[in-house]
Amino acid sequence: MEFILASASPRRKQLLSTIVSVYDIIPSDIDENKIKQTEKNPKELAKKLSYAKAYSVFENKYKENNEYTVVGSDTLVAYGNIILGKPHDKNDAIRMLKLLQGNSHEVYTGTTIIIKKEHSIIFKTAVNKSTVYFKNMSYHDICSYVDTEEPLDKAGAYAVQGVGKVYLKGFDGDYNSIVGLDTHMIKDTFERYNLI
């Protein structure tokens, strides 16, 4: 069985390596903005984006006869009804962190697994929801953190596993899902279909 991760994220690569040691990386080429324009519910958006990423890679390989499994994932940060993606620049990162500091917010990680095995195709999609609690941050704290550049390629402008963890009070939910991959769901699915 060939495993494919439809993402170039270093964090997702590291997490998938805890389940399978050998896999290919084929980043999805979907237009995320099209989906974001039509779906404003963060849970549904995480689900749709993970499915679209997995399906685009699956579809490109479909004509091949071999058996393979594609994993697609998307992680969103939502503060109330506001979905916070990756910041456009440092000012946008500051804006997001000003919203999050001293408050709690939700992290939604959508996961889609598509298995092509023997004469069947199996689709599994799930969304994991976690809650993250931020400490109070001064404007100086926020600017100092943004200057590390860690927030610039992270949804919500922070990394739970990086420098940003010093600004967190804690979380309710699954740590790996907050980082970016629902390893429990993936491992359970792989085991259920005898892939590992």
Active-site annotation, residues: 74
The CB-based long-range contact list for 183-187 (8 Å cut-off, 24+ gap) reads: 183/15, 183/16, 183/18, 183/19, 185/111, 185/113, 185/124, 185/126, 185/128, 186/16, 186/19, 186/71, 186/111, 186/113, 187/19
Task: Tokens for 77, please give them.
Answer: 């940060």
Q: What does each C-alpha distance from 167 to 120, 138, 144, 171 come to in angstroms?
A: 47, 11, 12, 12
**Eight-state DSSP code of residue 166:** G
What letter does residue 136 receive in the DSSP assignment?
P
Which residue matches tokens 């997702």? Answer: 12
